[in-house]
Amino acid sequence: MSFSANKATFGTLIKRTLVKRIRFRGRSLVIGIPLWWLIVFFLIPFVVVAKISFSEAIIARPPYSSLLEWKEGGFLLLKLHFSNYLYLLEDSLYISAYWSSIKVAFFSTLIALLVAYPMAYYIARSTERRRNILLMLIILPFWTSFLLRVYAWIGILKTHGIINNILMSLGITSEPLVMMQTNFAVYVGIVYTYLPFMILPLYTNLVKLDNSLLEASADLGANPLTTFFKITLPLSVPGIIAGSMLVFIPVVGEFVIPALLGGPDTLMIGKVLWDEFFSNRDWPVASAVAIVMLVLLVIPVMLLRNAQNASRAAST
């Protein structure tokens, strides 16, 4: 009996060990794939760009001066050139571009939120069959090329485009409205392009809202508007923050939409980066611009994350 018991115990230990090893390998595989993806496609390029930003251009194109230099006696000297970052402070173009990009991203995110919230709320309160159809319509633009959708807005907003033709045929205006090559066109293109990124997180949050809370609020005598501001809106703050981050962060570095829909006065950091890399061929300055932009993006992301964690803690 003791031998059988010891044998069963030994078999159980082996099974537990195998299960632990399988779980550990499974977790390592799940974590390892995205970790290596981030290392290869984010961390390594970031290190390369950071290295170039502290270098000094020998000529108008690579190679650049090395950051490490061996001295006599076997000493390794690290040479960091901060002149590229100081140049950004001296030239008002870069400060204006940063400020303009943040301003456009902020107002675009705000407009997208105002448009997306009613849509996400309606989808979340619809029946399951209608909900699936509406979600498919939200995702449907992703099935076509991003550039084609932006070029479509050129046909809609141009002087003799669809909107102006309709307005003039109805007699609302006597001459075409100037919409292309303006900030208005840039905001329209950005809000249209990034609207699904605001709708989907809001929908995911609102669809999980407990209807009993709304019924209890109505039973206590609250009108629908009070219920919305006291219950629905506070509980949807995590979705608002998630959607805002998904819109704000990529809009700051947006290049295609301002280049195609905006005018010469539309100044954004993405256009400045393009000019520095491909027109001026000043890669150290361009890398410094990219690093500073990344640092500026980290600040609002941290603030939004802190607000999201605080709202989650308050809700629990």
Are 181 and 302 found together in one domain?
A: yes
β-bridge mates for residue 57, sequence order: 64
Query: What are φ and ψ of residue 68, in 5° steps?
Result: -110, 135
Q: Is there a single domain that holds both residue 20 and residue 137?
A: no
Asked if the peptide bond before residue 45 counts as cis, ω within 30 degrees of 0, the response is: no
pLDDT of residue 142: 85
- Residues 275 and 211 reside in one and the same domain: yes
Would you place residue 225 in the very low, low, confident or very high pLDDT band (cuts 50, 70, 90)?
Answer: confident
Residue pLDDT, tens place only, 206-218 = 998 888 888 888 8
Helical spans, DSSP H, in the chain: 2-38, 44-53, 83-90, 92-124, 128-139, 146-157, 162-169, 183-206, 211-219, 224-227, 233-235, 237-252, 256-261, 269-274, 283-315
- The answer to whether residues 260 and 295 belong to one domain is yes
| The total number of structural domains that make up the chain | 2
pLDDT digits (tens, 9 = 90+) for 178-190: 888 888 999 999 9
Instruction: Tell if the pTM clears 0.85, that is, is over it.
Output: no
Residue that terminates a domain, selected from 31, 58, 77: 77
Say if residue 258 is in the same domain as residue 297. Answer: yes
Mean pLDDT of 279-293: 84
Q: Are residues 125 and 39 in the same domain?
A: no
Among 44, 77, 110, the domain boundary falls at 77
Same domain membership, residue 242 and residue 310: yes
Backbone CA torsion sign across 188, 146, 149, 197: negative
Last residue in a domain, options 48, 77, 106: 77
Q: Among candidates 282, 288, 252, which has minimal Cα distance to 268?
A: 252
- Residue given tokens 């609207």 in the structure block: 195
Residue 41: give the domain boundaries: 4-11+13-77
Please, are residues 9 and 17 in contact by the beta-carbon 8 Å criterion? no
CA 289, 290, 291, 297: dihedral to nearest 10 degrees? 110
Residues 72 and 87 both lie in one domain: no
Together in a domain, 267 and 133: yes
Which range of 75-84, 146-155, 191-200 scores highest in mean pLDDT? It is: 191-200
Report the 10 Å Cβ neighbour count for 193: 22
Pairwise CA distance, residues 88 & 91, whole Å: 6
- Kindly report the CATH number assigned to the domain that includes residue 166: 1.10.3720.10
